[in-house]
Amino acid sequence: MNLFGKPLDYGVRKGKVGYLEVSLSITQKDGYEIEIEIENTTEDPKFMGDFKIGDFEVSEKILMNNYQSWGPCTFVKPSEIIKSMHGLSANFFASPVPWEFKDGVISDYFMADDKTFAGFLSSKVTHPYFKWHDGIVDVKIYVGKHLKPHEKIKIETLWVKDFSKLEETLELYAKKVASSNTIKKSGPLFGWESWYSYYLNISQDSIIDELNRTSEIGMKYEVFQLDDGYEKDIGDWLETNEKFPEGLEFLSKKIKKSNMMAGIWTAPFSISETSSIFKYHKDFLVKDENGIPIVAYENWNKKIYALDTSNPDARFWLGEIFSALKGYGYEFFKIDFLFTGMISGKRFLDVTPVEAYRMGMEKIADAVGNTHVLGCGAPLLSSIGYVDSMRIGCDTAPEWKGELDMGMPSAKFSIRNALTRNFMNAWWVNDPDCVMARSSETNLTNSERMINIYIPALLNGQLLESDFLGKLSDDDLHLLRGSFNFRNGTSKVLLSDKERYAVVTKKAINGDIVSFVNLSDFEWKVEIERYRPFFDKKTDEFFVLYPSMKHAKNEIKIDPHAVAIIMHRGKRNLRRDDEKEDDGRDIHYYWGEEYDGTSTQSHNR
């Protein structure tokens, strides 16, 4: 890497970018840590947009990361995808610096090739990113506000490391980011939410029907969450539409009486063109230089504008919304489309988009207090400390899909991001989006359903289910319950390539496990013995395939769109108990020498 034209080395380095003086303090800490300070050297206020501090050459393939929840984190060949990225140049959904896509490919916060990793440790003031063009990567930072005469600000720290094992470097990066930010310590939750069953057709009657079915099917959900479809409009969060005649407090009390946390969805920084808040408070919105509100995105067949969270009146309104929802009894808040709060534009205060975003997140955090906040569609690094859990992939779907990898709904890419961003579990609880156990009203194969359900369990992420509970068959429920035995462990994801992954899970309920996830369209042959060193030494250790419970041979074949789950066992005498179900299924329970309250279950017809 070159910084201001000179090779990376420790010490102090300064460079001029127009009127801006940039000071770099470089130390060696498991690589190089580069602290950055900028100063307006003139006698006048100056607007600072983006600037470059260095560049480096990369190999043909890179690991790129998009800044927000839905965007991809995957291996790409930038030279092959650059043309497809050009259409994103006016899209805040894709980037807070969308103009950069006109002639390059952007990786936000961090990137790696086959030998070098570079990543920023925070995004509290500015938005740091890497821009690939013509085989070169520019290291860039977007500020987005005026600097006063001779004003100095310290911004994000950059970490650079040459590596031999990318997975270990990602884990080290996660620890460094965690130590540079305040982390909320929370555990994963199991719950139900309405979106992937009802979508916008949810009603008060239908959600109460689903609530009543939870006891009928014997599921012990911790959270029961109402998603989009209840509100009068996007921005009018406390006013329900005609499908919810008794309001939000009535529903919260119903859920709490069933001994579950009441959850609710909002998009707090999004304001619809038809909402009352838009009609009466255009002063609450981010504007262009001519004072016209900026369209952040379009959805719900409407134009959606961005709340200016630097405006104290807008923040007061925001706090009142969430204080009211908490007062109604809601304890789980899914806050969505959060990238809207970080678009570029003119605000009430002359702060950076990142600073404005964090002011809004701070207000929500103060209002909801000690409850669970799930971020979604969110700028990742800028959200650390404000969310308990974070969506780390695109919306899932009841079909595989795998064509457009830029945040569109896809079961495949949702799970892919859960794997590539697994290391982010150090910052929050990863939420890979909902699991769907249903075998009806889905285009997923049985193998794809198993990936959708078991990978979130093996990664010990958030486990929110979204099904019509009354339509689940006994087999569907057994499939879902079977995944519970694989939770509570710690996992390492080995990045074989962009479509094949090995997951090593230790100390889950069912012990130590290695899983092979084949997202590709081709068969994958794997030698299991290569993965034995990842486990602690056990006496007479061996591998067992799940759910058949048969000994695994050294070489196995994983079908396309399938997962192979293999449990690592030491010397163990298993007792098998058999049960015959009324529908003809044979259920086999395998118990260890000492019963510890868990079992390995195999369900066969």
* d(C-alpha 261, C-alpha 599), whole Å: 28
Q: Is 157 left (phi over 0), alpha (psi -120 to 50) or beta?
A: beta
* d(C-alpha 239, C-alpha 247), whole Å: 8
* Dihedral pair phi/psi, residue 54, rounded to 5°: -175, -175
Q: Is 48 helix (H, G, I), strand (E, B) or coil?
A: strand
- Of 361, 367, 299, 355, nearest to 70 (Cα)? 299
Cβ contact 253:331 at 8 Å: no
Structure tokens at 564: 């192979």
* d(C-alpha 531, C-alpha 380), whole Å: 32
- Check 113, 236, 395, 433 and give the catalytic one: 395
* Cβ contacts of 512 within 8 Å, gap of 6 or more: 489, 504, 505, 506, 535, 536, 567, 568
| H/E element, 363 | helix 353-368
Q: Is 57 helix (H, G, I), strand (E, B) or coil?
A: strand
3-state helix, strand, coil in the chain (%, to 5): 25, 35, 40
Q: Is 284 helix (H, G, I), strand (E, B) or coil?
A: helix
Q: Is 558 helix (H, G, I), strand (E, B) or coil?
A: strand
- Check 108, 308, 336, 476 and give the catalytic one: 336
Which residues lie across from 26 on neighbouring strands? 11, 34
* d(C-alpha 135, C-alpha 146), whole Å: 32
**What sections of 369-426 are H helices per DSSP?**
380-383, 411-420
Q: How many CB atoms lie within 10 A of CB 447?
A: 15
* Cβ contacts of 481 within 8 Å, gap of 6 or more: none
Q: Is 395 helix (H, G, I), strand (E, B) or coil?
A: coil
Cβ contact 543:528 at 8 Å: yes
Structure tokens at 69: 């929840």
Cβ contact 307:337 at 8 Å: no
* d(C-alpha 544, C-alpha 556), whole Å: 12
Q: Is 294 helix (H, G, I), strand (E, B) or coil?
A: coil
- Of 143, 177, 171, nearest to 51 (Cα)? 143
Asked if the peptide bond before residue 268 counts as cis, ω within 30 degrees of 0, the response is no
Q: Is 488 helix (H, G, I), strand (E, B) or coil?
A: coil
- Of 475, 409, 445, 461, nearest to 196 (Cα)? 409
* d(C-alpha 64, C-alpha 532), whole Å: 30
* d(C-alpha 21, C-alpha 23), whole Å: 7
Q: Is 395 annotated as catalytic?
A: yes
| Most distant pair of Cα atoms in the chain: their distance | 84
Q: Is 138 annotated as catalytic?
A: no
* AA identity, residue 35: E
Which residues lie across from 495 on neighbouring strands? 501
Q: Annotated active-site positions, please?
A: 336, 395
